[in-house]
């Protein structure tokens, strides 16, 4: 369809563009971006009047769980991709800890096929680093990449055998594949809350910062030895941030992300054992949150992720230690990025970079033909856009979320605060994946 | 995040559930201790029953076994004329996979008025209190490592009985504080009642540094911890601690931290020795001390029934 | 409308006269907390009886527990005699609905079976909701239901009435 987005404030963090302009879209691509009123000779079949709205590249979310394969019967893929579109997310990466895990090309192909048919959001799966995520035998990484995997990961399953991890990194680096690792020591990471005054007072088993720093030291050494490209998932501590900063300064091929939860919350928010605060990594202290926010601002952390996980009610309404960790996040990513940007005093483009070109840069060449245009607005590039109202606020009401995951620490009832940024429309390959209803 | 009202208190600041000592004003604690005194005298009468909970059903929901604690709650409820139902959950529906909240909903449908809950997970009673009907009250009989508020209260009653003034005392708590719900409740109660010095005594694996955040002085040396104490509370050492690489053996623990007569001699001459029970003779406490003149371990049990009667009658009389 | 003025001390003198006539040889005085307890203490001394009178708290047998919860303070029941077979003279400050007396009787019965129980009060204000009567009342008055009449004891031991609510007082 030939589509014209008229009069929006077009913000493209990658190029620095920030101006009121019209965007012409045809055949799934951005044909032209021209200053408002200067668009000539483009016959649109549909015009989106976007005055007062921001037009940005569709968000790129480096971690969202779709629970497929595994929960096809619940219609999970349909609802979660609809949630992504409602959140302005046009590309997402899903971890391999599905049921069964993504260690066979056939499973990856099926997932990509189903997502493509739905057309709401592009899905880039991570392949399992080891068969069955068991941490013993390597997966067929080349085959899986051909099937569509953008990297390899153990998800949250700790890798106990450093020998296997070393060889996995060596093998991946042979082909230039990126390995996505969560820095968590297998033996120290078993607690349900972050070690500290709150966990002690509440009598909850603690995860010390050592669990993250010991694992980071180990990963940094392995990267130094293998020159494998590694993406660190979900930093949670100030000490961890310091190690990543030093590793990057040394020039090691390391990137990192942080979740919306760790960016905004601390262990105090657990309150009276609220199971919505049962998260992995666990929420740490104020000083850690401050360090994460500074690191996201200065680029030590490349991307902000939703860490979306649609946990069912009966898995959450349990005593804290028994509750399944995870929270819904796809529809909150934009609002929480904007809130962080406002708190940090960052310009809009910088805040949006962490959910667009930043994460696209982590994916890099793995994006294939999309490498030059995902997370960006370029003429000739793919037309993945998010249109949102920067002045609007909305109250997070779990029952009104498109996702089947209703559990979030950020509900209006819990926080008393509304999120900024109301998504009006989301375009994937030039087609409307989401359009907000009339106000 | 919004500040949340302590779920144990209603809008008037009255106690409707007893989940933890944390966040309870001193006046609430003192009122329960005073009421317990009345019930102690009831226990000494010919007719030991009063009709306060007549017609009410109290369900003892013990997900963790404990005949002792369950029995004292049963006696307390019966002396208040309540009907008592004991549920041994390990052998019932939860073992068949029924969720905690489904169990509560089913029991509520049987017109339960009060749940006395012991659970292995910290915070479980809070989840229950959030989901019961307004007229139903919850008493925490111990949740994971987090709290054992009735034990904390009866320990305070015991201290008040023998020492009168909290504001002049040095209290030492010895043993596995990291894993102890009794220790946490004792610490909160002692702090709220104005005890100026609370010491946590034990090896680093069982008494970690961040306990200082709860307002205690951490001591890894037993002699330093016991010196001039007015009250010594010994905690039970569980066998699992040896398995978890926290301690090498019970014998070595006894050598360093066991309360023997010569260690006790470092405390004040009128020091009282307490223990939540059941005691491990020769592990945390020497028999000569457990059976000696400083020990108030048996009176603690008697006080425990009166304190539990006070808790149950107090919360049952307040509306949500 | 005439203002009502109750002189507690004067009424006490009247109560002492009445109790002197009512108390059997070997009988025991029992005051109901708190107002009745103060009266019983004074009566015990003024009648030249040895030691202290008994005190009863109605708190554990009240019939309004579900609405009002456990009433705090006032002190516990303390009966320094065997209730079994005793001739008990119950003393209270204000007799109104009769429910406090009913609760005090239940409390008394938890200790044994008395041979007899008679009631003497400072003021009977009518408004009975139960079949309970005082054998002696120093004054009988009628007050609107909205008004609360309570006895207070000053620091020097003097007794005083307080009337609250309605046209009279705060």
Which H or E run includes A162? Answer: helix A162-175
Residue C90, strand partner residues: C30, C119
C-alpha closest to that of A10 among A422, A328, A334, A386? A386
B contact test, residue of C55, C57, C60, C108 with most B CBs within 10 A = C60
User: A326 Cβ partners below 8 Å, 6+ apart?
Assistant: A65, A278, A279, A280, A307, A309, A310, A311, A405, A407
Query: Which residues in chain A are contacts of B2 at CB distance < 8 A?
Result: 414-416
Task: Round to whole Å and give the CA distance between A75 and A83.
Answer: 12
Reduced to 3 states (helix: H, G, I; strand: E, B; else coil), residue C6 is coil
Query: Which residues in chain A are contacts of B1 at CB distance < 8 A?
Result: 265, 268-269, 271, 414-415
Whether A147 shows a pLDDT value over 90: the answer reads yes
For C61, nearest residue in chain B (alpha carbons): B51
**Residue contact A271–B214, C-beta within 8 A:** no
Task: Round to whole Å and give the CA distance between A255 and A238.
Answer: 16
**Residue contact B46–C112, C-beta within 8 A:** yes
Digit-coded pLDDT (tens) for B152-167? 999 999 999 999 999 9
Digit-coded pLDDT (tens) for A344-387? 999 999 999 999 999 999 999 999 999 989 999 999 999 999 99
pLDDT of residue B95: 56
- Kindly tell me whether chain A and chain C come into contact, counting contact as 3+ Cβ pairs under 8 Å: no
User: C108 Cβ partners below 8 Å, 6+ apart?
Assistant: C30, C56, C79, C83, C88, C114, C117
Query: Which residues in chain B are contacts of C110 at CB distance < 8 A?
Result: 42, 45-47, 49-50
**Residue contact C61–B313, C-beta within 8 A:** no
Nearest to B313 among C61, C70, C112 (CB): C70
**Residue contact C57–B38, C-beta within 8 A:** yes
C-alpha closest to that of A60 among A90, A28, A15, A16? A90
C-alpha closest to that of A56 among A408, A350, A420, A370? A350
Digit-coded pLDDT (tens) for B97-124? 788 898 889 888 889 999 999 999 999 9
Give me the mean pLDDT over the A3-13 stretch.
95
How many CA atoms within 13 Å lie on the side-chain side of B56?
Answer: 27
Phi-psi region of B217 (alpha: psi -120 to 50; beta: other; left: phi over 0): beta
C-alpha closest to that of C39 among C4, C89, C73? C89
**Residue contact B127–A317, C-beta within 8 A:** yes
Average pLDDT of the residues of chain A: 95
CB-based contact, C80 to chain B, within 8 Å: no
Q: What are the residues of chain B with a beta carbon less than 8 Å away from any beta carbon of chain C?
A: 14, 31, 34-35, 37-38, 41-42, 45-47, 49-52, 313-314, 316-318
pLDDT of residue C1: 42
**Residue contact B314–C70, C-beta within 8 A:** yes
Task: Round to whole Å and give the CA distance between B204 and B246.
Answer: 9
Query: Which residues in chain A are contacts of B215 at CB distance < 8 A?
Result: none
C-alpha closest to that of A333 among A279, A285, A383, A403? A403
Give yes or no for a contact between C57 and C75, defined as CB atoms under 8 angstroms apart: yes
Spot the catalytic one: A103, A276, A307, A309.
Answer: A307
Render A65-106 in DSSP notation, one character per residue: ---TTT-GGGTHHHHHHHHHHHTTEEEEEE-S-SSS-S-SHH
CA of C65 to nearest chain B CA: how many angstroms apart?
A: 6
For B312, nearest residue in chain C (alpha carbons): C70
Task: Round to whole Å and give the CA distance between C167 and B291.
Answer: 65
**Residue contact C65–B318, C-beta within 8 A:** no
Query: Which residues in chain B are contacts of A414 at CB distance < 8 A?
Result: 1-2
User: A171 Cβ partners below 8 Å, 6+ apart?
Assistant: A138, A141
**Residue contact B45–C70, C-beta within 8 A:** no
Give me the mean pLDDT over the A141-163 stretch.
95
pLDDT tier at A178, thresholds 50, 70, 90: very high
Query: Which residues in chain C are contacts of B29 at CB distance < 8 A?
Result: none
Whether A174 shows a pLDDT value over 80: the answer reads yes
Whether C170 shows a pLDDT value over 70: the answer reads no
Strand ranges (E), A110-216: 122-125, 127-128, 152-153, 178-181, 193-194, 206-207
CB-based contact, B1 to chain A, within 8 Å: yes
Render B140-157 in DSSP notation, one character per residue: EEEETTTB-HHHHHHHHH
C-alpha closest to that of A388 among A415, A340, A348? A348
- Kindly tell me whether chain B and chain C come into contact, counting contact as 3+ Cβ pairs under 8 Å: yes
pLDDT tier at A193, thresholds 50, 70, 90: very high
Whether A439 shows a pLDDT value over 60: the answer reads no
Whether C110 shows a pLDDT value over 50: the answer reads yes
CA of C143 to nearest chain B CA: how many angstroms apart?
A: 30
**How far does CA B144 lie from the centroid of its chain?**
12
Query: Which residues in chain B are contacts of A200 at CB distance < 8 A?
Result: 178, 208, 210-211, 213-214
CB-based contact, B184 to chain A, within 8 Å: yes
The two structure tokens encoding residue B50: 């009063």
With a pLDDT cut of 90, the percent of chain A lying above it is 93
**Residue contact B1–A196, C-beta within 8 A:** no
Q: How far is CA B5 from CA A44, A199, A254, B280, in A?
A: 56, 20, 45, 40
For A320, nearest residue in chain B (alpha carbons): B123
CB-based contact, C170 to chain B, within 8 Å: no
Task: Round to whole Å and give the CA distance between A177 and A228.
Answer: 8
Nearest to A204 among B122, B127, B147 (CB): B122
**Residue contact C72–B31, C-beta within 8 A:** yes
Digit-coded pLDDT (tens) for A19-77? 999 999 999 999 999 987 787 888 899 999 999 999 999 999 999 999 989 988 888 89
User: A150 Cβ partners below 8 Å, 6+ apart?
Assistant: A93, A124, A125, A126, A178, A363, A366, A367
Digit-coded pLDDT (tens) for A383-432? 999 999 999 999 999 999 999 999 999 999 888 889 999 999 999 999 99
Give me the mean pLDDT over the B202-224 stretch.
92
**Residue contact B184–A416, C-beta within 8 A:** no
- The burial of A345, by beta-carbon neighbours within 10 Å (0-12 exposed, 13-18 middle, 19 or more buried), is given as exposed
pLDDT tier at C75, thresholds 50, 70, 90: confident
Query: Which residues in chain C are contacts of B317 at CB distance < 8 A?
Result: 65-66, 68-70
Render B58-122 in DSSP notation, one character per residue: EEEEESS--HHHHHHHHHHHHHTT-EEEEEEGGGSGGGGT--HHHHHHHHHTTT--EEEEEESST
pLDDT of residue B99: 86
pLDDT tier at B92, thresholds 50, 70, 90: low
Alpha helices by DSSP H, B194-318: 222-226, 240-243, 250-257, 261-264, 287-290, 297-316
C-alpha closest to that of A80 among A121, A108, A128? A121
Residue A426, strand partner residues: A386, A434
Task: Round to whole Å and give the CA distance between A353 and A330.
Answer: 17
Alpha helices by DSSP H, A185-328: 197-202, 210-226, 238-249, 260-264, 286-298, 313-316
Please give the model's pTM, rounded to 2 decimal places: 0.90
Task: Round to whole Å and give the CA distance between B234 and B20.
Answer: 21
Place of tokens 């607690």: A191
pLDDT of residue C76: 85
**Residue contact B14–C69, C-beta within 8 A:** yes
Whether C2 shows a pLDDT value over 50: the answer reads no
ipTM: 0.91
Residues of chain C numbered 35-54 and touching chain B (CB < 8 Å): none
Q: Which chains touch B (3 or more CB pairs under 8 A)?
A: A, C
Is residue A313 annotated as a catalytic residue, yes or no?
A: no
Query: Which residues in chain A are contacts of B184 at CB distance < 8 A?
Result: 201, 203
Digit-coded pLDDT (tens) for B56-66? 999 999 998 88
CB-based contact, B209 to chain A, within 8 Å: no
Average pLDDT of the residues of chain C: 90
Query: Which residues in chain A are contacts of B146 at CB distance < 8 A?
Result: 202-204
CA of A336 to nearest chain B CA: how many angstroms apart?
A: 15
Place of tokens 């029952």: A399
Digit-coded pLDDT (tens) for A199-234? 999 999 999 999 999 999 999 999 999 999 999 999
Give me the mean pLDDT over the B246-250 stretch.
89
**Residue contact A318–B100, C-beta within 8 A:** yes
CA of A415 to nearest chain B CA: how many angstroms apart?
A: 4
Digit-coded pLDDT (tens) for B170-179? 999 999 999 9
Instruction: Give, rounded to a whole angstrom, the gap between the first and last alpha carbons of chain A.
Output: 25
Task: Round to whole Å and give the CA distance between B263 and B283.
Answer: 14
pLDDT of residue B62: 93
Give yes or no for a contact between A44 and A378, defined as CB atoms under 8 angstroms apart: no
φ/ψ of A340, rounded to 5, equals -60, -45
**Residue contact A204–B146, C-beta within 8 A:** yes
């Amino acid at each position: 369809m030939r589509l014209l987005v008229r009069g929006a404030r077009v913000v493209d963090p990658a190029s620095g563009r920030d101006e009121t302009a019209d965007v012409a879209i045809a055949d799934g691509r951005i044909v032209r971006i021209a200053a408002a009123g200067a668009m000539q000779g483009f016959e649109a079949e549909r015009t989106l009047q976007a005055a007062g709205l921001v037009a940005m590249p569709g968000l790129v979310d480096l971690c969202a769980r779709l629970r497929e394969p595994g929960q096809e019967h619940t219609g999970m893929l349909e609802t979660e991709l609809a949630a992504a579109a409602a959140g302005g997310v046009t590309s997402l990466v899903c971890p391999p800890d599905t049921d069964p895990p993504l260690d066979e090309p056939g499973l990856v192909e099926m997932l990509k096929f189903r997502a493509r048919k739905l057309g709401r959001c592009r899905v880039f799966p991570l392949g399992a680093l080891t068969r069955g995520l068991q941490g013993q035998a390597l997966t067929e990484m080349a085959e899986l990449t051909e099937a569509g995997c953008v990297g390899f990961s153990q998800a949250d399953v700790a890798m106990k055998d450093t020998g296997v991890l070393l060889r996995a990194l060596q093998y991946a680096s042979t082909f230039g594949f990126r390995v996505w690792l969560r820095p968590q020591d297998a033996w120290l990471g078993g607690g349900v809350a972050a070690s500290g005054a709150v966990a002690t007072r509440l009598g909850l088993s603690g995860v010390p910062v050592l669990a993250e720093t010991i694992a980071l030291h180990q990963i940094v050494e392995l990267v130094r030895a293998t020159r494998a490209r590694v993406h660190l998932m979900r930093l949670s501590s100030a000490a961890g941030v310091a190690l990543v900063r030093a590793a990057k300064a040394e020039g090691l091929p390391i990137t990192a992300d942080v979740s919306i939860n760790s960016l905004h919350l601390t262990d105090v928010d657990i309150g009276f054992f609220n199971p919505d605060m049962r998260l992995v990594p666990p929420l740490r202290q104020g000083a850690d949150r401050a360090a994460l926010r500074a690191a996201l601002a200065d680029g030590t952390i490349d991307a902000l992720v939703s860490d979306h996980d649609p946990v069912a009610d009966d898995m959450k309404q349990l005593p804290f230690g028994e509750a399944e960790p995870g929270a819904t996040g796809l529809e909150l990513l934009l609002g929480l990025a904007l809130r962080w940007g406002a708190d940090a005093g960052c310009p809009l483009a910088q805040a949006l970079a962490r959910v667009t070109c930043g994460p696209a840069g982590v994916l890099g060449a793995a994006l294939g033909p999309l490498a030059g245009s995902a997370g960006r607005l370029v003429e000739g590039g793919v037309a993945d856009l998010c249109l949102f109202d920067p002045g609007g606020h909305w109250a997070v009401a779990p029952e009104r979320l498109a996702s089947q995951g209703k559990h979030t620490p950020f509900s209006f009832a819990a926080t008393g605060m509304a999120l900024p940024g109301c998504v009006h429309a989301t375009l994937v390959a030039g087609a409307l994946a989401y359009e907000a209803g009339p106000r | 995040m919004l500040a949340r009202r302590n779920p144990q208190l209603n809008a008037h600041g009255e106690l409707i559930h007893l989940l933890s000592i944390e966040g309870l004003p001193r006046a609430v604690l003192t009122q329960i201790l005073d009421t317990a005194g009345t019930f102690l005298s009831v226990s000494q009468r010919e007719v030991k029953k009063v009709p306060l909970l007549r017609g009410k059903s109290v369900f003892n929901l013990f997900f963790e076994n404990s005949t002792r604690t369950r029995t004292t709650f049963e006696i307390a409820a019966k002396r208040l004329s309540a009907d008592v139902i004991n549920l041994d959950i390990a052998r019932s529906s939860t073992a068949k996979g029924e969720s905690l909240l489904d169990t509560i909903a089913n029991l509520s449908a049987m017109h339960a008025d009060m749940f006395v809950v012991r659970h292995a997970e910290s915070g479980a009673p809070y989840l229950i209190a959030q989901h019961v009907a307004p007229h139903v009250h919850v008493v925490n009989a111990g949740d994971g490592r987090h709290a054992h508020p009735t034990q904390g209260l009866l320990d305070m009653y015991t201290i008040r009985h023998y020492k009168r003034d909290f504001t002049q005392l040095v209290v030492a708590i010895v043993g596995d504080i990291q894993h102890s719900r009794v220790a946490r409740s004792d610490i909160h109660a002692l702090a709220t009642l104005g005890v100026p010095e609370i010491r946590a005594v034990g090896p680093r694996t069982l008494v970690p540094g961040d306990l200082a955040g709860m307002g205690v002085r951490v001591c890894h040396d037993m002699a330093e911890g016991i010196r001039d104490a007015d009250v010594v509370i010994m905690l039970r050492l569980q066998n699992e601690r040896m398995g978890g690489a926290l301690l090498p053996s019970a014998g070595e623990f006894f050598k360093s931290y066991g309360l023997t007569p010569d260690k006790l001699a470092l405390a004040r001459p009128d020091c009282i020795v307490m223990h939540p029970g059941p005691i491990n003779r020769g592990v945390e406490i020497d028999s000569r001390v457990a059976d000696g003149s400083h020990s108030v371990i048996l009176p603690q049990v008697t006080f425990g029934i009166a304190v539990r009667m006070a808790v149950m009658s107090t919360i049952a009389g307040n509306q949500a | 409308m005439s203002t009502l003025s109750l002189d507690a001390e004067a009424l006490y003198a009247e109560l002492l006269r009445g109790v002197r006539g009512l108390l059997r040889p070997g009988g025991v005085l029992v005051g109901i907390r708190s107002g009745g307890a103060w009266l019983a203490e004074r009566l015990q001394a003024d009648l030249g009886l040895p030691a202290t009178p008994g005190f009863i708290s109605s708190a554990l047998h009240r019939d309004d527990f579900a609405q009002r919860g456990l009433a705090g303070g006032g002190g516990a029941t303390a009966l320094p005699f065997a209730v079994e077979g005793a001739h008990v003279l119950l003393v209270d400050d204000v007799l109104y609905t009769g429910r406090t007396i009913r609760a005090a009787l239940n409390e008394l019965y938890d200790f044994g079976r008395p041979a007899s129980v008679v009631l003497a009060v400072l003021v009977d204000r009518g408004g009975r909701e139960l079949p309970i009567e005082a054998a002696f009342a120093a004054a009988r008055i009628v007050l609107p239901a909205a008004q609360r009449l309570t006895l207070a004891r000053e620091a020097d031991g003097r007794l005083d009435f307080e009337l609250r609510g309605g046209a009279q007082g705060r």
